[in-house]
Amino acid sequence: MPDSRLVRLATWNVNSLVPRMPRLLEWLERVRPDVVCLQETKIAAERFPRLELTGLGYEVGALGQGPWNGVALLSRVGMEEITAGLTRDVAWDGLTEARAIGATCGGVRVWSVYVPNGREPGHAHYAYKLTWLGALRDTVAAELRRGTPLAVCGDFNVAPTDADVWDPQAFVGSTHVTPAERDAVAQVRALGLEDVVPRPLKYDRPFTYWDYRAGMFHKNMGMRIDLVLLTAALASSVSDAYIDRDMRKGPGPSDHAPVVVDLAGPA
């Protein structure tokens, strides 16, 4: 019987799954993660390309609403108890958006989350972002009461510290770095999760997102906003963590790169 433990976990905001599918399939075959958390899939669940993914041995859990948002989980170590959405609904413009999906994969409870952008401080979308993060905190608290190892991964749209942006002065007055946003993410971590910071592969800081504007990626003018948060026992078993910057290169990339985390020993 094959080993069903989760030993390689990844998260990637693909910024529209359909045009990114060739790159995703190549990457899955090369990197062979056991569980992948996807965000910003921008595709309805019923149109999700399951056949191509099941052909590579992955079970699929997807939550989508057409051309906006969308999250998914891919697992080749089993998938049980799929949960679509947070424990309490948080609506934007009367709609509960497709921003969170959880499942038990290889003995680990895994969540893929896509936190709202917030647009700008003072905007209604910024207040929605903080409320959504509060609902995520409540969801994580409920998950931790289960006693199962937990991984919360995804695009948090928050840089936890000034070291997680290329120039703090460039972000003054912007979202992603405000004290309220950082505190909301810190409250999620404070429940008992550790932030796994990947090792930098080329530059001195491991950014995960670079704007499409000319030169931002090549100058490493980025941000670390794609996070992997693990319970202490899982975090202590991390043997490696890195950002696959090569997936931000080439024709038609996402503006995010995957984060890959390897776990040594039983989950």
Domain parsing of the chain, residue ranges: 8-263
> Do β-strands 95-96 and 91-92 pair in parallel, antiparallel, or remain unpaired?
antiparallel
* CATH code at 8-263: 3.60.10.10
| pLDDT, tens digit, 9 for 90 and up, residues 26-37 | 999 999 999 999
Q: pLDDT at position 265, please?
A: 57
pLDDT classification of 200: cutoffs 50, 70, 90: confident
Asked if 20 and 72 count as a contact pair (C-beta separation under 8 A), the reply is no
What does the pLDDT look like over 217-252, one tens digit per residue?
Answer: 999 999 999 999 999 999 999 999 999 999 999 999
Average pLDDT of span 78-94: 96
Q: What is the pLDDT of residues 93-148, one digit of tens each?
A: 999 999 999 999 999 999 999 999 999 999 999 999 999 999 999 999 999 999 99
**pLDDT at position 204, please?**
75
Where do we find the tokens 């309805």? 44
Band (254; pLDDT cuts 50, 70, 90): very high
For the chain, what is the mean pLDDT? 95
Percent of the chain beyond pLDDT 90?
Answer: 91
pLDDT over 90 (residue 3): no
| Residue 266 pLDDT > 90 | no
Q: What is the pLDDT of residue 2?
A: 38
Q: Per-residue confidence at 185, pLDDT binned at 50, 70, 90?
A: very high
